[in-house]
Structure 1
Amino acid sequence: MARQIKLGLRLYGVGGPGQHGLWKDRRVPNDASIDIDWYIAQAKAAEAALFDTLFIVDSQFIDHTYPPHYLNRLEPLTLLSAVATHTRHLGLVGTLSTTYNSPFNVARRFASLDHISRGRAGWNVVTSFDTGTSRNYGLEEHLDYATRYGRAHEHVAVVRGLWDSYEDDAFPADVERGVFLDPSKLHALNHRGEHFAVAGPLNISRSPQGQPVIFQAGVSDEGRTLAAAVAEGIYAPPGTLEETSAYYADVKTRTAAAGRNPDHLLIFLGAAPVVGATDDEAHRTARDIYEADNDFDRKLGQFGRAFGAHDFSQYDLDAPFPDVSELAERGGRTRGAEIVQRAREEGLTLRQTVEAFTTFRPSPFTGTPTTIADTIETWFRARSFDGLNLGFRTLEDLERFAAEVLPVLRSRGLVRSEYDADTLRGNLGLPIPENRHTAARAVTV
């Protein structure tokens, strides 16, 4: 089958990063982030456009500087369970942290979503970089990078082990024989490792897709290594064609080195298309969107996220960028290190550093429908992504992209014309993982 672009939709309700003023748009209900009907409408529009996934981002720490959507939003799996009952094909991907959740609860909650959706669940594995989250869980300090990623590797392994508690044919439910469960097909995990001790078994069977699909969003070296080892989908950050192609090649190479088929790890590139009647109109719209949120005090407040929600307002804006490199180690280390290095090398003040990292950078996917389709095709064929994780400001923007850009891509055979399957794995072209106990039995026969 010819390689085709996968499509994901990410939602930020009343406004996520770079969208602080979106809640003022009359097309967006000011309670959208807690309005399940709003999410269902978005999901139905995405499914009508034959998208693969709906992606819900999450974090568990806020302060008053955070984007409006972060301040008042629904918990991902509760939200996705409701959406599942109003959709049939759309994959449902939710974010849960391995740092602040136990494997047993994560395994049970995602297995439940997988059954509710009949095989459409996905787990976005994160280690949490908002250091303030630690204090919401009774810890004085956020775990360091090495510990967080070591815990993440073990956490995913335990969850997958729990998802294999029952073999696929464990429940004969034979009324005549009075046999509901074949006990030989039920397996305790009995895991004891560096970070977790989990007996099992899990009290829920495997779904039609075997196990939920594992997604990950790491940019750091540790994040890429984790993705290569366990992920089946990865959310990649935006960048230039050269940057994204290099990222793609690196992650695929690591996946092969880990003994996995690189085609079984799909890279979704973050993108926010802006469609216009002309290229100039689209670029003016993109600039207007940026200027609507171009408030320095807000940008200064958000700048601290990579450094554990550090308060940069305490510094002289026109003095050299402060030495906060140690704060990035427990926060968003890759982004923080990039900021510190550039500020040091270029001798930037705090004000100049904030401006340098928040300057206007329009999406490369900006222009007329044909211009956007041409760019998407060029990047896809250059192997800078396998799919796009798309963000739109309003439902109208999503519907316009679906009505004007997707038909161009569809005419070129670059996106599907109908769903391939009822499960997320089926639509992504990913194999169903064989139950480990069934596989072991086959080897011994």
Structure 2
Amino acid sequence: MVNRMERRELHLGLNVLSDGMHPAAWRAPYTDPVGFMKPSQWQQLVQVAERGTLDAIFLADNLHLAIDDNGKIDQPPLALDPIVLLSTLASQTSHVGLVATVSTSFEEPYNVARRIASLDHLSGGRAAWNIVTTAEHRASANYGARPQPPREERYARADEFVEVVRALWDSWDDDAMVADQGSGVFTAPRRIRAIDHHGAYFKVAGPLNLPRSPQGQPVLFQAGGSEGGLELAARHADAVFTSQATLPDALAYARDLRERTSRHGRPADAVRIMPGLSFILGGTETEARRRAFELNELAGDRRLAIFAWQLGVDVHELAWDRELPPWLFDKSQLSRNSQGARDIVLNLARRERLTVRQLLDRIQSWHRLVIGDPEQLAATIAEWFEAGAVDGFNLMPDVEPSGIEAFVDHVIPILRRRGIFRREYKGATLRDHLGLARPSAVFPSGISLPSPPTRLEVEAYSLAR
């Protein structure tokens, strides 16, 4: 259980993938197949999220276009750049957080620090960066076609990447910008400094060309459940977007992460644990299962093909009504995708002896799948939260925008009646929503920056000019 003195509050984000989480979402008769390219649909989604007092809208990313052997794609891509899209949505909202996924594999720390800090300034303190590493070779082909380094090296690079970004965010003190028109003093002396980083992967002089952002540092999410991902989260993250299929697995993950976080000198509950939660919602369980059946029929064997790709196997090696092939459970068989998420699926399949069809009735894109009515969905959310396995969830509706509208209209009121979810925002920043303190500016070594200049120092600096 989480040991917080104050009453815990559930945290909910909305994870949006084009037209919804289900592979057949774009084919549903109640959605626009190209709505993911229209500003009006995104505005509707983010405004519904804010109406429901959700913590944040969470955008994944994909750095390549998957084209099949026939030269076509059979579902909408993740097409829009997350930071560009969230910058647009910032002007349509006033409270909901804005989480952008950016990979450390193909970027430079200075660019990421600047873009996320810009979003934090323009949104009034609602920005977050979801840190991922990228293993997909098709993405690498778009960025110089260099061979992808081993998993351990990708996470070592990511760790240094985050250190540099955080140092750049702290290269201005909170009070560095004076902007005194009368005296002509724009910045206080000695309140901006280079970071002079020289590491194994990056050399960055700094400082950042932006003042410190409204949140001090934008919120850091981390997605990934492998050994490297857990260590990265324990050291740096404010929140994690993880994959969990069962309550026992979720409890074990929470214990592991909190122990690691403590070993890094942080409070055990410093990181908000928010696994993905896929759902298909109906007015009754019968209606929900009918909706699931109709979507599954539209998807056909596409669901099987996606599952095979995620597991890193050929689709012909899987059969709907058979268990997974035994060799898949060999720990030496590493996935090209998320190793932590893959292990969760394999653990569930082995523990309960599930066929592929049964697995895909329990999980969707690595994440737990709930099919039911509002009371059932609220009950499963409350069970995991009250057990201390999670701090909340990233919601992954089957079809957008109808999925999140139904959740806000019918599930949120139940969670509020249970007393575990807010009725209104109590602050304006994403850190406020997540119950995170505003960090003070420190160097990566943990040495605090010098104290602010005195009034006499500022006046002397002004006279000298």
Normalised by the length of structure 2, the TM-score is 0.84
Structure 1: runs of 5+ lacking an equivalent: none
Name the residue aligned to 2:339. 333
One-letter amino acid matched to 1:68: Q
One-letter amino acid matched to 2:76: H
CA contact (8 A) 1:325 1:340 kept: no
Name the residue aligned to 1:160. 166
One-letter amino acid matched to 1:406: I
1:73-124 CA deviation, whole Å, 9 max, x = no partner?
A: 1010000000001110000001000111100000000011111101000000
Name the residue aligned to 2:450. 441
CA distance in 1: counterparts of 2:394 and 2:117, whole angstroms: 24
Q: CA deviation at 1:340?
A: 8.9
Asked if residue 119 in structure 1 is aligned to residue 122 in structure 2, the reply is: no
Q: CA deviation at 1:243?
A: 1.4
Q: Secondary structure at the match of 1:136?
A: coil
Q: For 1:23-422, list aligned pairs within 5 A.
A: 23-65=26-68, 68-70=75-77, 73-295=79-301, 299-300=304-305, 303-307=308-312, 312=314, 328=334, 331-334=337-340, 355=356, 359-361=360-362, 365-392=370-397, 393-422=399-428
Q: Secondary structure at the match of 2:187?
A: coil
Q: CA deviation at 1:281?
A: 3.1
Q: CA deviation at 1:379?
A: 1.5
More off after superposition, 6-15 vs 74-83: 6-15
Q: Secondary structure at the match of 1:407?
A: helix
More off after superposition, 174-183 vs 76-85: 174-183
CA contact (8 A) 2:362 2:370 kept: no
One-letter amino acid matched to 2:13: G
Select the structure that is richer in helix: 1
CA contact (8 A) 1:55 1:94 kept: yes
One-letter amino acid matched to 1:227: A
Q: Secondary structure at the match of 2:274?
A: strand
Structure 2: runs of 5+ lacking an equivalent: 1-5, 455-465
CA contact (8 A) 1:145 1:330 kept: no
CA contact (8 A) 2:173 2:441 kept: yes
1:258-309 CA deviation, whole Å, 9 max, x = no partner?
A: 11113321011211233333333333433443343231x66336523454xx
1:5 aligns with one of 4, 7, 10: 10
More contact order relative to length (CA 8 Å, sep ≥ 6)? 2
Q: Secondary structure at the match of 1:95?
A: strand
CA contact (8 A) 1:164 1:206 kept: yes
One-letter amino acid matched to 1:111: A
CA contact (8 A) 1:279 1:366 kept: yes
One-letter amino acid matched to 1:359: L
**Aligned CA distance change for structure 1 residues 381 and 103 (closer, same or farther; 3 Å):** same
The alignment of Structure 1 onto Structure 2 pairs a total of residues equal to: 431
CA contact (8 A) 1:235 1:270 kept: yes
CA contact (8 A) 2:98 2:126 kept: yes
**Aligned CA distance change for structure 1 residues 329 and 213 (closer, same or farther; 3 Å):** same
CA distance in 2: counterparts of 1:366 and 1:357, whole angstroms: 13
CA distance in 2: counterparts of 1:130 and 1:253, whole angstroms: 30
One-letter amino acid matched to 1:303: A
CA contact (8 A) 2:19 2:401 kept: no
What's the % identity of the aligned pairs?
Answer: 36
CA distance in 2: counterparts of 1:227 and 1:108, whole angstroms: 21
Q: CA deviation at 1:212?
A: 0.7
CA distance in 2: counterparts of 1:338 and 1:387, whole angstroms: 19
CA contact (8 A) 2:225 2:339 kept: no
**Aligned CA distance change for structure 1 residues 110 and 357 (closer, same or farther; 3 Å):** farther
CA contact (8 A) 1:328 1:337 kept: no
CA contact (8 A) 1:369 1:404 kept: yes
**Aligned CA distance change for structure 1 residues 12 and 113 (closer, same or farther; 3 Å):** same
Normalised by the length of structure 1, the TM-score is 0.87
Q: Secondary structure at the match of 1:185?
A: coil
